[in-house]
Each structure stands twice: as C-alpha cells, then as structure tokens.
Amino acid sequence: MQYKNITISGLPGCGSTTLLSLLKEALAQEKWVGFSGGEFMRAYAIEKGLFNPAQSTHHSATVYNDDFDRQVDYGIREKVSNQEKWIIESWLSGFMAQNVPGTLKVLMTCSDDAVRIDRIVNRDGVDVLEAKKSIQGRYQGNLEKWQRMYNKEWQEWVVETGKLSASEPIDFWRSELYDLVIDTFSNNKEKTLQLVLDAIKKT
C-alpha cells in the first residue's frame, strides 16, 4: 500500500470515531490495528478519579498533567515512525505525525455546525445547549493547553518546513497539515470510508 499507517483527527461531532471503527473492520484481514486516543484517555481519567463515568459528555484534556499528555502524544509519533498498520484516532494524531513518511493524515470536518451539535446530542444524550457548551469548552481548553505545550514542535514541524508562515496562529486542524480532508456533512460514512481506502491503495 502507499501508506503504512493512518491517523484520524477532527473536532467532536465530525465522525472520526465512526471512521476508526469502519477502518478497523475493513482492514482487519490485513492485520491493521486501531487505537482511539479518546477512549484510552477516558479510561485513564476514570481510573485516576479525574472524570466521573456517570457524566455523559466527554472531558477536557486539561484534567491531565502536561507530562502525561506529552507521553501519550509522543507515543503516537513513535508508533507511526517505527511501526506499521496502525489506525490512530485522536485530536492531535495528525499533528504528531507531521513529517513522518508513510502516514496518511486524515482530517475529519463537518461544514454544518448544527449537524455536529446534533451528533453530540444523540451520542451523549444531552440537550442542544449542553452539547454546544461541551464542544466549545473542550475545544478552547484543549487548544490553549496544546498551544502552550507544543509551540516548539509547531515551529519545527510546521513553520520551518514551510507549511504555514510564522504569522499564522497555532491551529492543529488546518487543512494544510493533512493529506486528506473529508467533510462528513457532504460525505456519508460509506463514502468517507471509501475515500480513505482509495487513498492508501498502491499507486
């Protein structure tokens, strides 16, 4: 195949978890392995008492200390750098795979915010107001933390390689950082899966 690993990134409600599940099934016979950063971090947070499992909405990365966050993120970079047949889904997996040869970096987007919110409402069983609050709160908290933590990596991996200029704000979900950008408002889950499978096929 053209690529030996896949990362899936995207903000809540854009369909990254759904794509991970579909790819794991589609590539199971070829021994690909899936990893959800969100599920891993949620289990850790529950184990350490950082998150109440009775709470339906997902938690922010701000509950973890920087060292643990960095350890997990760099573990992703190590996997895609030195191993094969990983499908890794997390907010930052595509950023952590910058400049790593052989990794297909997929960015999931949804051009209609109302659809994103509706997906969160249905997934978490909350009302629209709570879904909006959860989405915005997690995004802002996570972004500010990661901007502080990964300023050096942004300069080295993005600015110095010419992907974006130094005047651009740190935004880990800029399309310029990805190989394949999929809008799940205009592409259903079957079409989304096929776009990724087509991208990893041999040239």
Q: pLDDT per residue over 170-199, tens digit each?
A: 999 999 999 999 999 999 999 999 999 999
Q: Considering only CA atoms, which of 174, 193, 194 is closest in space to residue 16? A: 193
Contact 117, 133 (CB under 8 A): no
Contact 27, 105 (CB under 8 A): no
pLDDT above 80 for 107: yes
Confidence of residue 132 (pLDDT cuts 50, 70, 90): confident
Domains of the chain listed by start with CATH number: 5-200 (3.40.50.300)
pLDDT above 80 for 46: no
pLDDT above 80 for 203: no
For the stretch 49-82, pLDDT in tens is 666 666 655 656 666 788 888 999 999 999 999 9
